[in-house]
A = this chain, B = another copy of it.
Amino acid sequence: MSKKGILIVISGPSGAGKGTICKALLERNEYYLSISATTRSPRKGEEDGINYYFLDRDEFKTKIEEDDFLEYAEVYGNLYGTPRSKVQDMLDSGKDVILEIDIQGALRVKDKVDDGVFIFILPPSMEELKQRIIKRGSETPESLMTRFKSAYQEINYVSKYNYAVVNDTVDKAVRKIESILIAEKCRVDRIKEKILDSKEGLIHEQLYD
């Protein structure tokens, strides 16, 4: 029985540092990073199959009908989705898959992949979060307040996740996520059948020794 990979969903509020963490995780490990499909046009420097799978709207809609997405959503007039079959192939081949996604997208994935590992990235403090949001160049005090309130509300979603990792430093956060993956692979409910199957060698052998 070959070992299946684990789907690791990295999510959390804007400003928490999901992107930086995923980048570092991939530099240190042989994970596959899930690439989304989208109907938006490629930006300068983006390549099909590298940054996104760029599809036209009809192709995307066909895939929706064929249940080809773990989740999808429309954002500012463009469709975005996580392709199911590629992720499944990687998991079946034993590769762990990282999916970096917004909070709502993660919850949609959770409906379909109940043995996924859902990790919520937290900023080290609300003060730090505020600083990071400010640095992103919000022009008015009102839009800053909106963004901050939004992040604040988003943190309530932590209770829907399996793990919460504080992004105090990227290095520490990455090491925690790597530990989570090792621990998950030792969980009895993931590996129970394998253990009980491998028992069957003992008494049988003993009878014939």
Binding site for B on A (CB under 8 A): 119-120, 122, 124-127, 129-130, 145, 148-149, 151-152, 155-156, 158-159, 161-166, 168, 172, 175-176, 178-180, 182-184, 186-188, 191-192, 195-196, 198-199, 201-209
- Rounded to whole Å, the gap between the CB of A18 and the closest CB of chain B is 15
Cβ-defined partner of A152 (8 Å) among B127, B151, B191, B199: B199
Cβ of A176 and Cβ of B166 under 8 Å apart?
no
Query: Once the chains are docked, how many angstroms separate the CA of A163 from the CA of B183?
Result: 8
Cβ of B130 and Cβ of A202 under 8 Å apart?
yes
Cβ of B191 and Cβ of A164 under 8 Å apart?
yes
List 29 A–B pairs whose Cβ atoms lie within 8 Å, in order of A's numbering. A124-B203, A124-B204, A126-B198, A126-B199, A126-B202, A126-B205, A129-B202, A130-B202, A145-B206, A148-B202, A149-B203, A151-B202, A152-B199, A152-B202, A155-B195, A156-B199, A158-B192, A158-B195, A163-B183, A163-B186, A163-B187, A164-B192, A168-B204, A175-B182, A176-B183, A179-B179, A179-B180, A180-B183, A183-B183
Query: Once the chains are docked, how many angstroms separate the CA of A145 from the CA of B162?
Result: 43
Query: Once the chains are docked, how many angstroms separate the CA of A191 from the CA of B165?
Result: 10
Chain B residue nearest to A208 in the complex (CB): B168
- Rounded to whole Å, the gap between the CB of A33 and the closest CB of chain B is 21
Query: Once the chains are docked, how many angstroms separate the CA of A202 from the CA of B147?
Result: 11
Q: Which 8 A-B pairs have the closest CB atoms?
A: A183-B183, A126-B202, A179-B182, A179-B179, A180-B183, A163-B186, A126-B201, A166-B207
- Name the B residues within 8 Å of A124 (CB-CB): 203-204
- Name the B residues within 8 Å of A119 (CB-CB): 186
Q: Which of A126, A127, A208 has the most CB of B within 10 A?
A: A126
Cβ-defined partner of A162 (8 Å) among B161, B188, B195: B188
Once A195-B164, A201-B125, A206-B145 are accepted as A-B contacts, the answer to whether A159 and B188 lie under 8 Å apart by CB is yes
Chain B residue nearest to A163 in the complex (CB): B186
